[in-house]
Structure 1
């Protein structure tokens, strides 16, 4: 039934587990994905959307490295929007509303296509560990399955407890059994710390019971884009509308009057809530002066009446959920299909992991996704991809694959987790990345695809696509640098955009670098339009060129700062470095450095409580 021994066993079939399974198997490892229910592989447990602020950048990075979240999202998109287009390109973030069923279907299809990947339905209840080294897993059905490496991607299932009003239901998702045994084994037998976190989801309602005329429609982009740089899917010729409405004082009064029976405020829930995705009851309590909160009405697919109510996550009873929703404009005749709920679950603080997401305590045991204290499909998928890559590299005795903070949002995510840990569900934002001008969504392939190619996740064909893109960008920039515009040609455009006119020929690059001039203004000039068509410079190429020219100063400054950081990154600290012997370090510094075991001086600098003088002392000892 099984191989004698698998290279890698992945526990859990969510966003993290799927990326981990395909990464390891595509790199050549015989992989087993084991999950409690094969029918719920790839399920979107919360809202049916992928991407958003900073999260969209992560999805494009996953695709650039050879992962699949972007491809599956493109396949199942029902509406696409590029968020923050009114701001600079560092803030542009793609977001796709997806068809929930198509999303799950296509993930399952991709997993089943891989001949080096086996799927099995069962529940892992404990791990086989000998001399602090992973050897395999034990299941609910009594099986022992051997593996050289194990990746835990259990999501919200470890000792999961669901709260709906006064009801407490043991489960990892509604109507799905929780998983017991793994937390107890790791904490009691191996001293690994665990904690409890809480997240929640919103009610789903019957779209036919809503009055959309009372809501404001939200349309997709006129020219919708894709997440994937390489995988081709059908052009999105039609899109579903989303809607926005608002809570009101009546809703707030009803919620406020029932806070004492909310599981969050009554003491039933002990887990820590996500700061950036609070429940409706937490919003009403924390922001008493707010007259309204936005409610986003999001369809769940092409052929369903089910609608997700984004912004109304709650743990109230079904009765109070219903009463509250009915007071929202457009929801007067609402019919609830599924109530919202809160869920508590075990997680393992991620400062117990190495930079490759391997446990510091048990060799070849990797952790990825919500089990590390993060929240969101995108963060989970990114960790799964990196865990799958590194589990494969580890068992084949190759160097780990670690992304730096100036290389990817994924690098920021993992570095934050392992050096700072998290005491609340971690969510990625553009503000967390100090090099966000370098880490744009449009250049993720330029930054990361060569790395994906080097580790075997990017094909020769896709690498050629990237190289062709880079050549075209270079050629277009050269055209704009060398060709000039005459005053009589460009001045009408400048006047129209309230930009100072010119009196002698100016290079195209000089005109385009003006903040008030868009590349669309430039390429409409007849001789340039001809050149662009001749060279097949598409929208993607022109956007790259425009950003590189307009924001050159900012980009160069961040590159310079990144070079300075690289010097510290290159100052590697030996793995056996004995901090306890350095008495000139503070006791706090010695304890933290010995616990975190940073791999470089740069990583040491990001540990809370480590001062510049501590770094200088370490550097002196390293030179000795």
Structure 2
């Protein structure tokens, strides 16, 4: 019934969809197995993509040739560039998405990808021969073979849903949990754990009073995620902001004795940076209010997502409390919030390719690795899909360094440090964040994506033009010089100090309070010249000028660190034959099996003296 596939992807969430699309677009014959074809790429929690550091990840996925940015652009209902008041390293794109259209667009994309087959079933077992994954068995008793298998099971592995004192099996509300895989992986020698996440109630938007809330519109001139010609957003839907109060908190506290979080029924750790509302009022008892974001679920639906009110309290307590929030006095609930516990596998059991150490050609991506968030899942799916294809065709591994992408930071963190709570990406996790900006993801990554056959020739040409145009603009900024008489009156209007002698525009643009639009006012000839270039190239030039010293400083740090990154450690290196290694260092090195000395230096428990000892033993 089934041919032998190059790659089987288990699970069609954000990780699974990116994995299937990447492997197929690179030339592999892919089977995507999902428990329900109607929930492909379901946004299980908030209807949004991007955000702080997450937006950078979506742009990186797009730059490499992935799909999340394109699909987000096609289905967004609002766009905002966060942190505009800060430096460009912090600028983070975020969009509100139409939940139903997002899932539909992903399904249509997969159906129109020639090398992707879809099968609705549940994978119950990995077929393993000679310590290599060679296929899967399903609940229908079907055996399907492949050269590589990617597991992207999300929250479905032995998923358990909690609402107050009620609990029932499920991977998402209304959908059954997946069993069998965890038990088999443990038998094979894998270590597993439990994690928890949660979601807020959904409310009928027709029952809300928006006059009691603050409107949060999108950007006046909305941008987008993809570097391709996706359609611009011409109109937007607003979000709204309101606040909890002491009355809300008082009602919520009456349910604490029935809260699965406080009674110990939930064993798994939840996301530190996205706590439930009961956790917030318990941990921050001194605060008398918490911000609530009211987010529309799409263009046409009246359903509202209540961001900031994630909870697993009994449904009657949720209902009483939410009606005490300003604007929610007559709120009607579509469904209550809930918490979900699920199995994950500590990611220190993986290589940087996301292939497991124990079983060859078996890859893990997404929440199975202990992460939280659509964007974190999608980028892992992309890397796992790429490397599953590379393995299936006996090609070189594809690994991104920490200095190349937030995706590289995320995977490096997971593999070397592991995680005991849901891992979320932040700009602070990236030591080279001035280099890893959202505006230059294409410059950093598109050539790499093109080299492995994922990013198209058209994408490569486009980024080459952007680089060339940026250089031309920088040359012009150096070339055009202005006199005090010409520009001092305009500089006074801007609120910056006058010049005393002729200066190039390049020097004036270095000032913190002078923007590219101001430079156009200072020189009519430069303004005319700049009309021949797109906004992206002009922005690149401005950032390069203003942050030149910071960028150079980080570049030198990368150069220094890359000396260790370039020193490879052979895969079967015998750490037991190096007596000078510390006991903890040896144990961690044997478990994680670092690819390079740079990776070894970032493993928790491996000391600088251990790294020095290894340097000697690998002949440096």
TM norm. shorter chain > 0.5: yes
1:577 to 562, 573, 578: 573
C-alpha distance in 1 between matches for 2:317 and 2:267? 22
Q: Does 1:558 align with 2:554?
A: yes
What corresponds to 2:221 in structure 1?
Answer: 223
C-alpha distance in 1 between matches for 2:83 and 2:295? 19
Distance apart, 1:149 and its partner CA: 0.6
Larger mean Cα displacement after TM superposition, 390-399 or 65-74: 390-399
Distance apart, 1:526 and its partner CA: 2.0
Aligned partners of 2:23 and 2:30 also within 8 Å: yes
C-alpha distance in 2 between matches for 1:334 and 1:156? 29
What corresponds to 2:386 in structure 1?
Answer: 389
What corresponds to 1:377 in structure 2?
Answer: 374
Aligned partners of 2:480 and 2:526 also within 8 Å: no
What corresponds to 1:206 in structure 2?
Answer: 204
Q: Aligned with 1:255: secondary structure?
A: helix
What corresponds to 2:185 in structure 1?
Answer: 186
Q: Does 1:354 align with 2:347?
A: no
What corresponds to 1:312 in structure 2?
Answer: 309
Distance apart, 1:609 and its partner CA: 1.4
What corresponds to 2:490 in structure 1?
Answer: 493
What corresponds to 1:292 in structure 2?
Answer: 289
Distance apart, 1:498 and its partner CA: 2.2
Q: Aligned with 1:134: secondary structure?
A: strand
How far does the alpha carbon of each residue in 1:302-337 deviate from its partner, in whole angstroms, 9 at most, with x for none? 001000000000001110110110110110000001
Aligned partners of 2:400 and 2:407 also within 8 Å: yes
How far does the alpha carbon of each residue in 1:255-314 deviate from its partner, in whole angstroms, 9 at most, with x for none? 223212111101111111110110000001100001111000000000010000000000
Distance apart, 1:130 and its partner CA: 1.4
Distance apart, 1:160 and its partner CA: 0.3
What corresponds to 1:118 in structure 2?
Answer: 117
Larger mean Cα displacement after TM superposition, 123-132 or 560-569: 123-132
Distance apart, 1:338 and its partner CA: 1.4
Q: Does 1:480 align with 2:477?
A: yes
Larger mean Cα displacement after TM superposition, 607-616 or 365-374: 607-616
C-alpha distance in 2 between matches for 1:153 and 1:447? 27
Q: How does 1:424-463 map to 2 (within 5 A)?
A: 424-463=421-460
The gaps in structure 2 that reach 5 residues or longer are none
What corresponds to 1:527 in structure 2?
Answer: 525
Distance apart, 1:497 and its partner CA: 2.4
C-alpha distance in 1 between matches for 2:120 and 2:485? 71
What corresponds to 1:621 in structure 2?
Answer: 617
Q: How does 1:319-330 map to 2 (within 5 A)?
A: 319-330=316-327
Aligned partners of 2:255 and 2:314 also within 8 Å: no
What corresponds to 1:341 in structure 2?
Answer: 338
Q: Does 1:413 align with 2:410?
A: yes
Q: How does 1:65-104 map to 2 (within 5 A)?
A: 65-104=64-103
Aligned partners of 2:163 and 2:314 also within 8 Å: yes
1:243 to 240, 247, 256: 240
Instruction: Give runs of ≥4 in structure 1 deviating > 6 Å.
Output: none
C-alpha distance in 2 between matches for 1:124 and 1:596? 28
Distance apart, 1:236 and its partner CA: 1.2
The gaps in structure 1 that reach 5 residues or longer are none
C-alpha distance in 1 between matches for 2:26 and 2:270? 37
2:593 to 591, 597, 601: 597
Q: Does 1:132 align with 2:128?
A: no
How far does the alpha carbon of each residue in 1:419-439 deviate from its partner, in whole angstroms, 9 at most, with x for none? 000000000000000000000
How far does the alpha carbon of each residue in 1:554-574 deviate from its partner, in whole angstroms, 9 at most, with x for none? 000000000001000011111
Distance apart, 1:493 and its partner CA: 2.3
Aligned partners of 2:214 and 2:240 also within 8 Å: yes
C-alpha distance in 2 between matches for 1:498 and 1:148? 64
C-alpha distance in 2 between matches for 1:234 and 1:363? 42
C-alpha distance in 1 between matches for 2:23 and 2:416? 25
What corresponds to 2:57 in structure 1?
Answer: 58
C-alpha distance in 1 between matches for 2:33 and 2:176? 15
Aligned partners of 2:19 and 2:385 also within 8 Å: yes
Q: Aligned with 1:509: secondary structure?
A: helix
Q: Aligned with 2:466: secondary structure?
A: helix
Distance apart, 1:242 and its partner CA: 0.2
Q: Aligned with 1:623: secondary structure?
A: coil
Q: Aligned with 1:397: secondary structure?
A: coil
C-alpha distance in 2 between matches for 1:176 and 1:221? 37
Distance apart, 1:538 and its partner CA: 1.9
1:517 to 493, 514, 523: 514
State TM-score, norm by structure 1: 0.98
Aligned residue-pair number: 619
Distance apart, 1:520 and its partner CA: 1.1
C-alpha distance in 1 between matches for 2:8 and 2:337? 33
What corresponds to 1:2 in structure 2?
Answer: 2
